[in-house]
């Protein structure tokens, strides 16, 4: 049998008894406010996620265009480049990548799950390619690769050179943007 005694509510001083319901009411109000704030934040995040998923699905399901070439140089439309810049957050959903190591050092980024209608396909990249460098700059992760392609490619600009390890061969891909 439990010998510990608990004091009944009537045994508390009257001043403590009268403040108890008010304190409980205050705690309940704070908990309701926190719950409402979390619900609204979750709804905003859920809406943003739904929008991003729809955009990625739209781009993944878009009819893939064949990459355009001028000789050995892949040509992307200036409008595709500008659209990719405007939707930078969505673009990361169209390509995946992991650092590629050689002798314990990161030497590039292996890309995979490249969406068919993405700008990355249009410049000639293929699933499994290891991007060694772009114009001499070696990306260490997929975000840096995307930034390099989107930020340093100029409309009607110079030809960019990408050194790629494809299967067992080293391949050079050249691309540029052009307005049509």
Per-residue pLDDT tens for 84-137?
Answer: 888 887 788 889 999 999 999 999 999 999 988 788 999 999 999 999 999 999
Stronger pLDDT, 131 or 1, i.e. the higher one:
131
Per-residue pLDDT at 148 exceeds 70 = yes
Residue 161: closest CA among 124, 127, 109 = 124
Eight-class DSSP state of 9: G
Contacts of 32 by beta carbon, 8 Å cutoff, 6+ apart: none
Average pLDDT of every residue of the chain: 83
If you ran DSSP here, which 8-state letter would residue 137 be given? Answer: B
- pLDDT value of residue 73: 92
- Which of these ranges, 9-13, 78-82, 90-94, has the smallest mean pLDDT? 9-13
Are 81 and 177 a contacting pair, CB within 8 Å?
yes
Question: What SS3 class is residue 112?
Answer: strand
Helices (H) and strands (E) in the chain, counts: 5, 7
* Residue 46 CB neighbour total at 10 angstroms: 10
pLDDT at position 44: 79
55 or 37, higher pLDDT: 37
pLDDT of residue 160: 93
Q: Write down the pLDDT at residue 130.
A: 96
Are 151 and 135 in contact, with CB atoms under 8 Å apart? no
> How confident is the model over 65-79, as pLDDT tens digits?
678 888 899 998 888
State the Cα angle at 180 between 90 and 52, rounded to 5°.
Answer: 10
Strands (E), 113-168: 130-134, 160-166
- Asked if residue 57 has pLDDT above 90, the reply is no
């Amino acid at each position: 049998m439990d010998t510990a005694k608990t004091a009944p509510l009537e045994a508390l001083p009257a001043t403590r008894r009268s403040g108890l319901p008010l304190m409980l009411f205050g705690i309940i109000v704070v908990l309701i406010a926190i719950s409402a704030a979390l619900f609204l934040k979750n709804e905003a995040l859920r809406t943003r996620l739904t929008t991003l998923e729809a955009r990625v699905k739209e781009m993944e399901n878009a009819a893939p265009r064949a990459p355009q070439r001028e000789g050995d140089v892949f040509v992307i439309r200036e409008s595709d480049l500008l659209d990719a810049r405007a939707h930078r957050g969505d673009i990361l959903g169209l390509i995946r990548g992991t650092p590629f190591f050689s002798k314990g050092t990161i030497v590039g980024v292996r890309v995979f799950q490249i969406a068919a209608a993405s700008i990355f396909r249009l410049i000639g990249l293929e699933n499994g390619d290891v991007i060694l460098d772009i114009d001499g700059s070696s990306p260490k992760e997929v975000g840096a690769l995307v930034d390099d392609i989107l930020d340093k490619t100029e409309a009607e600009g110079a030809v960019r050179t990408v050194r790629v390890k494809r299967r067992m061969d080293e391949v050079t891909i050249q691309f540029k943007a052009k307005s049509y």
